[in-house]
A = this chain, B = another copy of it.
Amino acid sequence: MVNFQGKFYNAIDAKGRASIPAKFRDELERVFGDNHLVVTEDKSGVVAYPLPVWKEIVAKIEQLPPGQFRDDLYLTTVSPAIECSFDKQGRVQLSQSMREHAGLVGEEREFVAIGVAKKILLMGREQHAQSRAQAQARLDDNPQSRFDLGL
């Protein structure tokens, strides 16, 4: 099973291409023998799935009954998705809307790539720092549960 892990700081070039860490490309190659990703929007930035994983997700969504939940998923997640592949240097082109969504506009050239099981999260460093701080704060409110896990 595919399992991306690790956190990396990489950069986006002036034309909006994000260079994907070699570790992730290797994992993709290892499991799927492939170099395609589907990139879409996410609550806290941009997220990339291997194509086969994405197809499974969409298949499940399409089986949902028509209604608000389904529409919401389409609007936020399914519709913005774009399939893309790496160039020779291991970069993918991110559309303007994604860059904006991930906080990668203007002179912000650095982003964070985080492997989370079968998906890869991408977001601006600023945005990452914020999300991380919020997560940490929530955890701090709950020291017992954390302890119980052995952390």
Contact = CB atoms under 8 A, between A and B. Distances in A.
Given A5-B79, A131-B75, A61 B115 contact: no
Nearest to A71: B135
A31 interface: no
Contacts of A9: 96-97, 100
Contacts of A96: 8-9
A104 to B, nearest CB: 14
A76 B149 contact: no
A150 B76 contact: no
A77 interface: yes
Number of copies: 2
A107 interface: no
A82 interface: yes
Interface of A: 5-9, 41, 43, 53, 56-57, 60-61, 68-69, 71-82, 95-97, 100, 112, 114-116, 118, 121, 131-132, 135-136, 138-140, 142, 145-146, 148-151
Given A7-B79, A68-B138, 15 more contacts: A5-B79, A6-B79, A6-B95, A7-B41, A7-B97, A57-B149, A60-B148, A69-B139, A72-B138, A75-B131, A76-B135, A76-B136, A76-B139, A79-B115, A79-B121
